[in-house]
Structure 1
Amino acid sequence: MKKALWLLGVLLVSAIVILATVDFNRFGKDTVYVQISDVASVKETKLDSGEMIKRYWYKLPAYNENGNLTEVEFSAAKELRKNAYLMLYIKDGNEVTSYDEVQLTDIPQKAKEKLEG
């Protein structure tokens, strides 16, 4: 009985650690690369508290590691740095779930050629 409770405790702690550390917005997603240009639009939302929240929307061409084009639209809580390169995590073809800024040297060659082209 004690072994079963101990094993259950270990499994529970392991599950909590996994859930706390794995970013499911990135796990198992495809990646594409973009270069930030101008903001497509800024949308302001007024909260019940009266605070105004801004979302910056971007609509850009994105390229996968093979250089294939995908049009993506995504938002950010802050204005992204112009000319920055991003690796976008996408699902269902073009739904952006997360992003990371990357250096041009980190981008696969075929995608880099399309972005520079």
Structure 2
Amino acid sequence: MKKGIIASIALVIVVIGLINIDWQRLGKDHVYVQVGEVTEVEETTLDSGDVVRRYIYSTEGLTKDGDPQTVTFTAAKELRSGAYLKLYVKNKDEVTSYDEVSVADVPEAAREKL
């Protein structure tokens, strides 16, 4: 009986842990960019009549080693011009997520070239 309860509690803890993992960021490469102008704005009209805008950015980013990499990513709102972003990239060109970071958080090799 005790073993069953302990096993159930352990299973619940493991399931909760797996649910809380951010799979969009786990094991991804990082590319650092400084936000420039919006490349394109895509508008979609929903069935309710609301208009949803998607802001598309295409820019040159830098890996932590300072190697250049062209990236395209989208945002639900217009990003602050000049802000530094840490992009989470898989397969060299697919951005899955991003975080705004301070210039101090950008690796030195990339910071020198941004």
In structure 2, the partner of 1:113 is: 112
In structure 2, the partner of 1:11 is: 10
Instruction: Please state whether the residue corresponding to 2:64 is helix, strand or coil.
Output: coil
Instruction: Please state whether the residue corresponding to 2:99 is helix, strand or coil.
Output: strand
Q: Which amino acid aligns with 2:77?
A: K
Runs of 4+ in 1 over 6 A off after TM superposition: none
For 1:5-64, what per-residue CA distance to the aligned partner results, in whole angstroms no more than 9, with x for missing partners?
A: 324412331233213321110011110100000000110111122211100000010101
Instruction: Please state whether the residue corresponding to 2:113 is helix, strand or coil.
Output: helix
Q: Measured at CA, do residues 5 and 49 of structure 1 come closer, stay the same or move farther in structure 2, by a change above 3 Å?
A: farther
CA deviation after TM superposition for structure 1 residue 69, in Å: 0.8
In structure 1, the partner of 2:46 is: 47
Q: Which amino acid aligns with 1:14?
A: I
In structure 2, the partner of 1:20 is: 19
Instruction: Please state whether the residue corresponding to 2:15 is helix, strand or coil.
Output: helix
Identity %: 46
In structure 1, the partner of 2:58 is: 59
Q: Could you tell me how far apart the structure 2 residues matched to 1:10 and 1:28 are?
A: 28
Provide the alpha-carbon RMSD of the alignment.
1.2
Q: With structure 2 as the length reference, what TM-score do the two structures score?
A: 0.93
In structure 1, the partner of 2:101 is: 102
Q: Which amino acid aligns with 2:89?
A: I
Q: Which amino acid aligns with 2:102?
A: Q
Q: With structure 1 as the length reference, what TM-score do the two structures score?
A: 0.91
Q: Which runs of 5+ in 1 are unaligned?
A: none
Q: Which amino acid aligns with 2:68?
A: L
Q: Could you tell me how far apart the structure 2 residues matched to 1:46 and 1:5 are?
A: 52
Q: Which amino acid aligns with 2:11?
A: L
How many positions carry a matched residue from both structures? 114
